[in-house]
């Protein structure tokens, strides 16, 4: 047999000696890649609703962070999930400048995957944040909050900010904490006759001179126990 | 005393006729009004409608000059104020309120709205201390910037805006407890003077005053400028100052969609005089993007200073109901010479709650004491801590900021924390939450707080806010060491003026708005004399 042909035939024969080793190696590498991919990007549950900006995995991360920071029960009844923190972050991102949106995406990505680099306290800590048990998630957050590395504290503060903004956007929370905005009867000043609502033309100016009732130098303090803003409370 | 009803009736009677109002509204252009590229001609174009630009525009318009006031943000009416903190910041702040410096990480904000920062600040008006202005005069060769020289301008602004001490009726417990604590310690304190008429004590200054009590520029100076004949172009981003030799001949930019910032039509405004009042963080960017204008001194964008702020939360045995009362109603200037000022504070509760330690049920337990809590803060004068502003690529005026808290300034923050602790415990607080990394999350005695005096910590241990920014286009009598002269005119250009806090030679040690308006008024009158 011609020598080059024999060499080619041996190369194609899986039973040939030395052939299986590179194949097993490739299979192992592919398996490892699949495992890494699964840890990084697969297996997120279907979210309870469609989000306009958040990806499925991001919603899961925020839901887990919300439950870890604001679990059900305790001094305030509502949980982070009752407050729909992922839904709030979705609305916030939609209202934000694209650059800010990108930063929030990156923050959530970092939160989710940093535990693949910085091991979570306890057994089996090298898993993505949303795959950790609840107690371990709280331990991770506490570790970040008190970390000697400023950058990790910064990440924690950023995540805490997002979750807390969402939690406090839930009317029962601010009502229970007595910080819900109070009702204020509308006041109209001269300038309100000049400016249309944002994005609208002059024909959308709602007020007329008859409506003008501000400013006044009379001091009329609100009653801290008075009625609440209709969108933020029921008192 | 006339009733509110009678006052309102009087106001309505004093309003212009419907036809005149329609004409005034026609002097304002909003995003929906722009249909194509356009150019305009005027005597003076003022870029930025905050407390600097609005004052210059009104003073010039009232003296009969043709003025175009340009603002990148939209006007807001009360129904559009978003009470939710995050959404409010996304709408009214550049970069969604998430701007921060590199180096020492310091969150800082810049408003994008007609009226600029005055729409979302807490309306604090304090004259710069005499000693600060004397230092400016002496060290920066500014002989006419003494307190005596600026007082007539302070007075004129104060009269126009009705600046007055916060009335007792709207202080609320959060503010009066601060007064009690200061009195117990023998520290002088006072109700804060604010540009407010008829405050209701809603504590919503930072998300826009629903009560229309705060005399922000959009409802005070801008309408006055309009009545005097000025035109106002909103949703217009100026991207370049056009020059011919040493003379500015106008500005150009694009119409931008509110909130998204998407650029559409091109705009050009030719003017005899150009005034940049885009803010301490945007004006240097505009100069840099215009071919490194007015920068023979190499000071444009340099010397960035802040008043870094730290806050402490105190828990009292009785209910405080901190959500009621003037947002910032009481202050103490006792420690100005030591480098800091104490004041009361309220902000959207979600923002304040971020600083509470812990997670899970422990965090919820801490949140539950909010009705019994008060937050007070200190702003520090850190003249050694400097940074710089650099333009980013693309059309945006959002800057790249770097800033470093000087190690020698850290003890100022530490002493301020201790002073706040002193006032809290003197006022009857049983616990304070300092929110500083590396110290106890809760302290129950002043003795525990002494750690701030014995171990001032590192800069990164403090949760700071970058309140007030200054000095990026500082004034200096020597053209080699500053960007503008005493009247705000660039040393390197004959008719290019700057009127924002960038012209401050150093931080003023107190809230800067009134000083800025006084300086802007002086600049406006100087331009009027020239025209």
Which tens digit of pLDDT belongs to each residue from A163-211? 999 999 999 999 999 999 999 887 888 888 999 999 899 889 888 888 8
Give contacts of A194 with chain B, Cβ < 8 Å: 21, 24-25, 28, 75, 223, 226
pLDDT of residue A171: 93
Give contacts of B29 with chain A, Cβ < 8 Å: none
A179 with B371: Cβ contact below 8 A = yes
pLDDT tens digits for range B316-342: 999 999 999 999 999 999 999 999 999
Give contacts of A195 with chain B, Cβ < 8 Å: 28, 30, 75-77, 114, 218
pLDDT tens digits for range B191-235: 999 999 999 999 999 999 998 999 999 999 999 999 999 999 999
pLDDT of residue A1: 45
CA distance B490 to A57: 53
Give contacts of A95 with chain B, Cβ < 8 Å: 87, 90-91, 259
pLDDT band at B298 (very low <50, low <70, confident <90, very high): very high
The CATH number of domain B164-194+305-385+406-463 is 3.30.410: yes
Helices (H), chain A: 3-12, 20-41, 56-69, 85-95, 98-113, 134-145, 150-168, 171-176
Nearest residue, CB atoms, A218 vs list B31, B198, B226: B198
CA distance A58 to A70: 18
B7 with A218: Cβ contact below 8 A = yes
Ramachandran category for residue B435: left, alpha or beta (phi over 0 → left; psi -120 to 50 → alpha): left
First-residue to last-residue Cα distance in chain A? 95
What would the mean pLDDT of B74-78 be, rounded to a whole number? 90
DSSP structure string for A12-55: H-TTSTTSHHHHHHHHHHHHHHHHHHHHHHS-PPPPSS--SS--
Whether A214 contacts chain B with CB within 8 A = yes
Ramachandran category for residue B48: left, alpha or beta (phi over 0 → left; psi -120 to 50 → alpha): left
B360 with A69: Cβ contact below 8 A = yes
pTM: 0.91
Give yes or no on whether B28-93+111-123+126-159+210-290+470-530 and B164-194+305-385+406-463 have one common fold: no
Cβ atoms of residues B250 and B45 within 8 Å: yes
What would the mean pLDDT of B11-31 be, rounded to a whole number? 79
Cβ atoms of residues B356 and B366 within 8 Å: yes
Nearest residue, CB atoms, B364 vs list A70, A88, A215: A70
Whether A197 contacts chain B with CB within 8 A = yes
Whether A181 contacts chain B with CB within 8 A = yes
DSSP structure string for B315-353: E-SS---TTSS-TT-EEE-TTTTTTEEEEEE---HHHHH
Q: Which range (A163-172, B104-113, B394-403, B478-487) has the least confidence?
A: B394-403
Nearest residue on chain B to A186, alpha-carbon basis: B211
| Residue listed under structure tokens 């694009």 | B254
Measure the CA angle with vertex A163, ends B86 and A109; round to 5°: 105
Strands B67-70 and B231-233: parallel
B354 with A99: Cβ contact below 8 A = no
What would the mean pLDDT of B476-503 be, rounded to a whole number? 97
Whether A18 contacts chain B with CB within 8 A = no
Residue from B6, B13, B86, B395 to probe the interface with A (highest A Cβ count within 10 Å)? B86
Whether A139 contacts chain B with CB within 8 A = no
Nearest residue on chain A to B89, alpha-carbon basis: A96
Q: Which residues pair with B255 in a beta bridge?
A: B236
Cβ atoms of residues A193 and B212 within 8 Å: no
HSE-CB of B338 using CA atoms within 13 angstroms: 19
Provide ipTM, 2 decimals. Answer: 0.89
Nearest residue, CB atoms, A95 vs list B87, B204, B222: B87
Nearest residue, CB atoms, A198 vs list B21, B80, B204: B80
Whether A230 contacts chain B with CB within 8 A = no
B211 with A184: Cβ contact below 8 A = yes
Whether A52 contacts chain B with CB within 8 A = no
List the domain boundaries for chain B. Answer: 28-93+111-123+126-159+210-290+470-530, 164-194+305-385+406-463
For residue B459, pLDDT over 80 is answered with yes
Quick check: helix, strand or coil at residue B375? strand
pLDDT of residue B1: 41
pLDDT of residue B11: 55
pLDDT of residue B232: 97
pLDDT tens digits for range B217-229: 999 999 999 999 9
Nearest residue on chain A to B173, alpha-carbon basis: A224
Cβ atoms of residues B259 and A95 within 8 Å: yes
pLDDT band at B476 (very low <50, low <70, confident <90, very high): very high
Write down the architecture of domain B28-93+111-123+126-159+210-290+470-530 according to CATH. 3-Layer(bba) Sandwich (3.50)
| Neighbouring residues of A8: CB distance < 8 A, sequence distance ≥ 6 | none
Quick check: helix, strand or coil at residue B182? helix
CA distance B366 to A94: 31
CA distance B358 to chain A (A): 7
pLDDT of residue B9: 55
pLDDT of residue A212: 84
pLDDT of residue A119: 87
pLDDT of residue A233: 65
Nearest residue, CB atoms, A177 vs list B199, B210, B371: B371
Whether A95 contacts chain B with CB within 8 A = yes
pLDDT of residue A28: 87
B95 with A153: Cβ contact below 8 A = no
pLDDT band at B355 (very low <50, low <70, confident <90, very high): confident
Helices (H), B337-398: 349-353, 360-367
Whether A203 contacts chain B with CB within 8 A = no
Q: Which range (A22-36, A142-156, B256-270, B486-500) has the least confidence?
A: A22-36
Give contacts of A156 with chain B, Cβ < 8 Å: none
A88 with B323: Cβ contact below 8 A = no
Mean pLDDT, all residues of chain B? 94
| Residue listed under structure tokens 């005493």 | B486
The per-residue pLDDT string of chain A (235 residues; one tens digit each, 9 = 90 and over) reads 455 556 665 655 656 656 666 778 888 888 888 777 776 667 787 878 889 999 999 999 999 999 999 999 999 999 999 999 999 999 999 988 888 899 999 999 999 999 988 888 888 878 899 999 999 999 999 999 999 999 999 999 999 999 999 999 999 999 999 999 999 887 888 888 999 999 899 889 888 888 887 666 777 899 988 888 877 666 6
pLDDT of residue A39: 66
Residue from A80, A94, A111, A187 to probe the interface with B (highest B Cβ count within 10 Å)? A187
For residue B2, pLDDT over 50 is answered with no
pLDDT of residue B116: 97
What would the mean pLDDT of B384-402 be, rounded to a whole number? 90
CA distance A184 to B170: 14
pLDDT tens digits for range B138-159: 999 999 999 999 999 999 999 9
């Amino acid at each position: 047999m011609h020598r080059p042909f024999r060499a080619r035939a041996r190369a194609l024969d899986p039973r040939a000696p030395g052939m299986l080793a590179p194949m097993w190696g490739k299979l192992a590498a592919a398996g490892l890649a699949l495992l890494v991919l699964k840890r990084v990007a697969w297996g997120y549950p279907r979210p309870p609703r469609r989000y306009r900006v958040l990806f499925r995995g991001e919603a899961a991360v925020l839901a887990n962070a919300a439950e870890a920071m604001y679990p059900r029960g305790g001094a305030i009844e509502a949980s982070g999930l009752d407050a729909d923190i992922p839904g709030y972050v979705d609305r916030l991102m939609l209202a934000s400048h694209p650059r800010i949106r990108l930063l929030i995406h990156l923050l959530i990505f970092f939160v989710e995957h940093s535990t693949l680099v910085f091991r979570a306290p306890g057994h089996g800590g090298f898993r993505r944040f949303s795959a950790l048990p609840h107690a371990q998630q709280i331990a991770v957050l506490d570790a970040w909050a008190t970390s000697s590395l400023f950058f990790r504290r910064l990440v924690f503060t950023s995540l805490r900010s997002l979750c807390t903004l969402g939690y406090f956007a839930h009317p029962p929370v601010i009502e229970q904490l007595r910080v819900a905005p109070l009702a204020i009867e509308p006041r109209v000043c001269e300038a309100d006759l000049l400016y249309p609502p944002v994005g609208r033309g002059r024909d959308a100016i709602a007020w007329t001179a008859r409506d003008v009732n501000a400013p006044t130098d009379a001091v009329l303090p609100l009653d801290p126990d008075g009625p609440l803003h209709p969108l933020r409370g029921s008192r | 005393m006339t009733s509110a009803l009678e006052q309102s009736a009087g106001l309505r009677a004093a309003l212009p006729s419907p036809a005149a109002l329609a004409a005034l509204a026609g002097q304002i252009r909003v995003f929906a009004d722009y249909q194509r590229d356009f150019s305009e001609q005027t005597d003076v174009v003022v870029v930025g409608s905050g407390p600097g630009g609005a004052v210059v525009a009104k003073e010039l318009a009232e003296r009969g000059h043709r003025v175009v006031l340009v603002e990148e943000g939209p006007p807001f009416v009360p129904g559009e104020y978003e009470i939710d903190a995050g959404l409010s910041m996304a709408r009214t702040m550049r970069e969604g309120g998430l701007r921060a410096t590199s180096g020492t990480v310091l969150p800082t904000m810049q408003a994008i709205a007609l009226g600029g920062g005055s729409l979302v600040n807490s309306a604090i008006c304090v004259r710069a201390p005499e000693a600060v202005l004397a230092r400016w005069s002496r060290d920066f060769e500014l002989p006419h910037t003494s307190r005596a020289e600026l007082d007539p301008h302070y007075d004129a602004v104060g009269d126009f805006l009705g600046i007055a001490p916060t009335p007792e009726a709207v202080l609320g417990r959060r503010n009066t407890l601060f007064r009690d604590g200061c009195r117990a310690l023998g520290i002088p304190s006072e109700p804060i003077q604010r540009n407010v008429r008829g405050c209701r004590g809603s504590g919503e200054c930072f998300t826009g005053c629903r009560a229309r009590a705060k005399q922000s520029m959009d409802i005070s100076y801008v309408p006055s400028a309009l009545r005097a004949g000025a035109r106002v172009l909103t949703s217009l981003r100026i991207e370049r100052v056009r020059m011919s030799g040493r003379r500015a001949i106008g500005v150009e930019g694009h119409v931008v969609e509110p909130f998204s910032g998407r650029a559409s039509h091109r705009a050009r405004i030719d003017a005899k005089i150009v005034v940049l009042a885009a803010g301490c963080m945007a004006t240097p960017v505009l100069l840099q993007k215009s071919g490194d204008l007015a920068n023979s001194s190499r000071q444009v964008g340099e010397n960035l200073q802040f008043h870094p702020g730290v806050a402490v939360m105190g828990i009292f045995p009785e209910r405080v109901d901190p959500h009621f009362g003037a947002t910032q109603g009481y202050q103490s200037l006792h420690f100005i010479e030591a480098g800091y000022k104490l004041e009361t504070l309220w902000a959207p509760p979600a923002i304040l709650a971020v600083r509470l330690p812990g997670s899970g049920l422990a965090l919820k337990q801490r949140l539950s004491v909010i009705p019994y809590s008060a937050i007070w803060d200190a702003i520090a004068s850190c003249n050694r801590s400097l940074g710089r502003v650099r333009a980013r690529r693309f059309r945006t005026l959002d800057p790249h900021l770097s800033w470093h808290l000087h190690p020698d300034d850290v003890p100022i923050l530490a002493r301020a924390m201790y002073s706040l602790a002193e006032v809290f415990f003197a006022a009857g607080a049983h616990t304070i939450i300092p929110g500083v990394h590396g110290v106890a999350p809760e302290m129950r005695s002043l003795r525990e707080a002494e750690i701030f005096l014995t171990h001032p910590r590192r800069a990164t241990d403090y949760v700071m806010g970058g309140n007030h920014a200054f000095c990026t286009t500082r004034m200096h009598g020597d053209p080699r060491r500053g960007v503008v002269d005493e009247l705000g005119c660039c040393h390197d250009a004959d008719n290019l003026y700057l009127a924002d806090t960038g012209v401050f030679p150093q931080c003023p040690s107190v809230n800067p708005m009134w000083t800025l308006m006084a300086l802007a008024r002086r600049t406006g009158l100087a331009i009027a004399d020239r025209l």
